[in-house]
């Protein structure tokens, strides 16, 4: 069996990729996917640590995170669709109405 | 579920259940658009009364997942009152702007239930759930003026950055879980004390949690969404989220760091120090350059987050921390009262299509509407921190704690930036009183009531601020 640190390392890499994706990519959907990647990296870490501590609670938290992610998808995609209808674009760099 | 469990989250249950009932009521009463807000306010009243009754007690529920103590009691009262103020501010505004849809008030209720859950959360997972429960309705509310592009854009920015911040929080929670084997604050403390915790991992986790909540309460360098979202969202929502979301974010930060992580004090305090200082400096200096009142108040809210953050910096000093918590709570109260008043004036002057929001639109207000201008005078003085206003007392208690904790330079930066802030707050007064203009205002009853109550409250509460601060001092955290 692989040691737990491998899984945690992988989850850290996934989290970093997700965070960089949010900062670098400009398409709202891809930013959103990157955020999902961050949440799933946390899920992987939860499961790995749950295994290491032999505690089931970590696995249960994953369900909470998945539920929350689903709720965010519902709101997020609706917002993206609303903006697309209005502007025919979901490039976040073009969302520049608000400036001071 | 025992009866204690039930009691511990009863305010939240009331709000969520009442929100679900109101969703049905709203469907069947499309003609009576006053019904949903009225019932929502009634539900909040019940919650408020229950929160006041509950505020003297201390107990835990759900195996330590939630804890009711003075801290949560104080904040729940603040959240319920914020909700009432939010409804009062939005009622006529929404009609005027064509946003007259009942879901608005129901989403407000759901968001407040999340804030209340945040104030009782004693487990990092509950903190995360509460964060999302309060945020997701706010994303929708920020975009409530759709298809207006400004509002949609604000919602989008708020959503993307809010979800990003949520990702940081949940990963931080995962690392804290990995470091200690539990997410319950009490067990984290126990694991640290017995030496079974991996302190490096816990520090990284705590850092990620600070980043996540830094976005929520808008401290530098995580503040960039604030002015855009505050400007684009419907003004009633802006007023509500400026108080509610900020107070909830600080509730989580205070509880997690003061109650569970004081051992990490040495590692974390330099980062917090710098964040507090930068927030006060950046918020106040950039606010000077703003010509739109919504953006100016947004930067002002960033600056005030910096002041409250100063109290958090002392989280690891066992003798100062209780005082720091009460100073932060008192400042949140002062900020809430002043903030709702100032936004009420903004709403009175706002017209459709985003007109009436420039500072120049306030010219002549002092001559044409002396009462409204006098109220704005009180709010601006309170924001600046001039006696006899709540803002002054808030700053007084806050700076006193910061000095007690030994952060002299932080206090000096705070005082200096307060002086800078006088420039842009007093500029509003200069424009109101010294320039000629012909402003038009909308002053429906509820808005007048809110403006009047908050203006009187800002002055009167500052005179009785010592008993009020005592109440905040009793609102201590349950220490594990």
pLDDT of residue B137: 96
C-beta atoms of A39 and B228 within 8 A:
no
On whether the CB atoms of residues B366 and B433 are closer than 8 A, the answer is yes
Phi, psi of B173 (to 5 degrees): -65, -40
Contacts of B287 (CB under 8 A, 6+ apart): B296, B299, B300, B302, B303, B421, B424
Phi, psi of A95 (to 5 degrees): -85, 80
Regions of chain B short of the pLDDT cut 70: 476-480
> pTM of the predicted model, to two decimals?
0.95
pLDDT of residue A92: 86
Among chain A residues, CA nearest to B294 = A100
Question: A6 exposed, middle or buried (CB, 10 Å; 0-12, 13-18, 19+)?
Answer: exposed
pLDDT band (50, 70, 90) for residue A31: very high
Residue in this structure with the two tokens 């073009």, named with its chain if needed = A94
Spell out the alpha helix ranges (H) of B121-197: 124-142, 149-180, 185-194
pLDDT of residue B57: 82
Chain B residues within an 8 Å CB radius of A48: 178
pLDDT of residue B179: 94
Give CA B96 to chain center in angstroms. Answer: 26
C-beta atoms of B160 and A38 within 8 A:
no
Give CA A61 to chain center in angstroms. Answer: 15
Residue in this structure with the two tokens 């674009």, named with its chain if needed = A89
> What is the distance in angstroms between the Cα of B474 and the nearest Cα belonging to chain A?
33
Contacts of B445 (CB under 8 A, 6+ apart): none
The percent of residues above 90 in pLDDT, for chain A, comes to: 75
Contacts of A94 (CB under 8 A, 6+ apart): A87
pLDDT tens for each residue of B211-248: 999 999 999 899 999 999 999 999 999 999 999 999 99
Among chain B residues, CA nearest to A98 = B228
C-beta atoms of B178 and A49 within 8 A:
yes
Q: What is the DSSP track for A39-65?
A: HHHHHHHHHHHHHHHT-THHHHHHHHH
C-beta atoms of B228 and A86 within 8 A:
no
pLDDT band (50, 70, 90) for residue A50: very high
What is the rounded CA–CA span in Å between residue A63 and residue A43?
Answer: 9
> What is the distance in angstroms between the Cα of B174 and the nearest Cα belonging to chain A?
5
pLDDT of residue B440: 87
Chain A residues within an 8 Å CB radius of B168: 19, 38
Core vs surface per residue A75-90: b (16+ CB within 10 A) or e: bbebbbebbeeeeeeb
What is the rounded CA–CA span in Å between residue B323 and residue B240?
Answer: 27
pLDDT of residue B479: 65
C-beta atoms of A86 and B147 within 8 A:
yes
Q: Does B159 touch chain A (CB under 8 A)?
A: yes
What is the rounded CA–CA span in Å between residue B145 and residue B409?
Answer: 44
What is the rounded CA–CA span in Å between residue B117 and residue B120?
Answer: 5
Q: Does B177 touch chain A (CB under 8 A)?
A: yes
Q: Helix, strand, or coil here: B363?
A: coil
User: How much is the CA Rg of chain B, to the nearest whole Å?
Assistant: 21
Among chain A residues, CA nearest to B231 = A98
pLDDT of residue B260: 87
Q: Which helix (H) or strand (E) holds B66?
A: strand B66-68
> What is the distance in angstroms between the Cα of A51 and the nearest Cα belonging to chain B?
10
DSSP state of B30: S
Preferred mutation among B134, B150, B171 to probe A, highest tally of A CBs within 10 A: B171
Q: Helix, strand, or coil here: B123?
A: strand
pLDDT of residue B128: 96
What is the rounded CA–CA span in Å between residue B190 and residue B195?
Answer: 9
> What is the distance in angstroms between the Cα of B290 and the nearest Cα belonging to chain A?
6
What is the rounded CA–CA span in Å between residue B452 and residue B456?
Answer: 6
Phi, psi of B341 (to 5 degrees): -60, -50
pLDDT of residue B478: 66
Looking at B205-286, which runs of residues are DSSP E strands? Answer: none
């Amino acid at each position: 069996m692989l040691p737990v640190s491998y899984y945690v390392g992988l989850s850290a890499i996934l989290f970093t990729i997700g965070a960089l994706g949010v900062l670098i990519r400009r398409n709202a959907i891809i930013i959103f996917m990157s955020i999902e990647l961050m949440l799933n990296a946390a899920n992987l870490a939860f499961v790995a640590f749950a295994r290491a501590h032999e505690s089931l609670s970590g696995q249960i938290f994953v369900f909470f995170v998945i539920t929350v992610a689903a709720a965010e998808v519902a709101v997020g995609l609706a917002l993206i669709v609303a903006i697309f209808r209005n502007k025919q674009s979901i490039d976040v760099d073009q969302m520049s109405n608000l400036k001071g | 579920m025992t009866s204690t469990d039930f009691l511990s989250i009863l305010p939240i249950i009331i709000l969520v259940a009442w929100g679900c009932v109101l969703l049905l009521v709203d469907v069947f009463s499309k003609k009576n658009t006053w019904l949903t807000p009225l019932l929502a306010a009634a539900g909040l009243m019940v919650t408020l009364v229950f929160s006041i009754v509950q505020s003297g007690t201390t107990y835990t529920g759900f195996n330590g997942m939630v804890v009711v103590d003075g801290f949560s009691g104080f904040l729940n009262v603040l959240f319920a009152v914020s909700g009432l103020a939010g409804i009062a501010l939005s009622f006529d505004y929404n009609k005027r702007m064509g946003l007259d849809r009942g879901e608005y008030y129901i989403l407000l209720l759901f968001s407040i239930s999340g804030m209340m859950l945040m104030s009782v959360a004693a487990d990092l997972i509950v903190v995360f759930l509460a964060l999302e429960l309060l945020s997701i309705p706010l994303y929708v509310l920020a975009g409530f003026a759709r298809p207006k592009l400004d509002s949609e854009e604000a919602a989008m920015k708020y959503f993307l950055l809010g979800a990003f911040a949520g990702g940081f929080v949940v990963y931080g929670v995962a690392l804290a879980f990995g470091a200690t084997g539990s997410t319950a604050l009490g067990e984290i403390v126990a694991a640290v004390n017995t030496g079974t915790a991996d302190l490096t991992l816990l520090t990284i986790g705590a850092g990620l949690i600070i980043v996540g909540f830094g976005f929520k309460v808008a401290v530098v360098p995580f503040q960039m969404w604030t002015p855009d979202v505050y400007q684009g969202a419907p003004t009633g929502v802006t007023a509500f989220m400026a108080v509610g979301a900020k107070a909830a974010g600080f509730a989580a930060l205070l509880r997690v760091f003061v109650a569970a992580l004081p051992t990490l004090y040495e590692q974390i305090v330099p980062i917090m120090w710098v964040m507090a200082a930068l927030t006060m400096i950046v918020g106040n200096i950039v606010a000077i350059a703003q010509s739109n009142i919504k953006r100016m108040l947004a930067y002002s809210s960033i600056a005030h987050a910096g002041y409250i953050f100063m109290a958090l910096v002392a989280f690891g000093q066992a003798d100062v921390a209780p005082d720091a918590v009460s100073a932060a709570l008192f400042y949140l109260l002062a900020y809430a009262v002043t903030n709702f008043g100032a936004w009420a004036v903004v709403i009175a002057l706002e017209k459709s299509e985003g007109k009436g929001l420039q500072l120049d639109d306030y010219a002549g207000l002092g001559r044409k509407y002396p009462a409204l201008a006098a109220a704005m005078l009180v709010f601006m003085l309170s924001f600046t921190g001039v006696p006899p206003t709540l803002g002054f007392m808030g700053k007084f208690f806050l700076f006193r704690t910061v000095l007690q904790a030994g952060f002299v330079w932080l206090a000096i930066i705070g005082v200096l930036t307060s002086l800078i802030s006088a420039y842009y707050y007093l500029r509003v007064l200069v424009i109101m009183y010294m320039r000629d203009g012909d402003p038009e205002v909308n002053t429906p009853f509820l808005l007048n009531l809110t403006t009047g109550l908050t203006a009187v409250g800002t002055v009167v509460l500052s005179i009785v601020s010592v008993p009020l601060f005592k109440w905040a001092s009793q609102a201590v955290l349950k220490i594990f």
